[in-house]
Amino acid sequence: MQKSDSTAVERSPSAGTPQDAIALLKADHREVEKLFAQFEKTRFAMRKEKLADEICNALRVHTTIEEEIFYPAFLDATEDKDLHHEAEIEHDGAKNLIAQIEASSPDDEYYDSKVKVLSEMIKHHVKEEEQPGGMFAEARKAKMDLDALGEQMAARKGELQAQFSNTPPGARRGKNGILERIASAATR
Ligand SMILES: [Fe+2]
Ligand SMILES: [Fe+2]
């Protein structure tokens, strides 16, 4: 059925243009899908490792801004605990696999399988967020202030990306790598 919500206008994701919260999150989804597709195509170990690193970083940033900003605002506006809690649990599953990928390398016999399973988990999760009746559609219906949330998330995303880009990949690995510290700070 065609959506009739006249407020459902998404801004162009072009650089420098402010994006509303949903346009920003959807653009992140498309970006990470591209990275997974590139990973699948390459046979070079160094390229694989670089792409997996980019995928893990992008997902860490994305899940953090959702958990810190979008999900709480969604829960507040809709009181839809089922959608909210399921999304958080799916994030937990993805984070577990991300930590495993970051702790290993393409020499690991299971490396490609881990990235493949992560891509499948993310595909499922993204579908749940974007499908009719999913979190994004419900957020639009609830008339959340998506412009303000988009601005807040863009700012937080910039901060997290700067933190990650200043950290050599090796420093992220291991049980108490910076990504885990950021993730635990995010759940304060
Ligand atoms: Fe998402
Ligand atoms: Fe999510």
Q: How far is the CA of 15 from the centre of ligand 2 (A)?
A: 22
Q: How far is the CA of 113 from the centre of ligand 1 (A)?
A: 22
Q: How far is the CA of 29 from the centre of ligand 2 (A)?
A: 9
* Helix, strand, coil fractions of the chain, as percent rounded to 5: 75, 0, 25
Ion ligand 1: residue ranges with CB closer than 5 A: 25, 129
Q: How far is the CA of 126 from the centre of ligand 1 (A)?
A: 6
pLDDT of residue 167: 64
pLDDT tens digits, residue range 44-99? 999 999 999 999 999 999 999 999 999 999 999 999 999 999 999 999 999 999 99
List the structure tokens of 106.
């393409």
Q: Which ligand is nearest to the CA of 29?
A: 1
The dihedral sign for the CA sequence 177, 180, 186, 187 = negative
pLDDT tens digits, residue range 152-180? 999 999 999 998 876 655 555 544 444 44
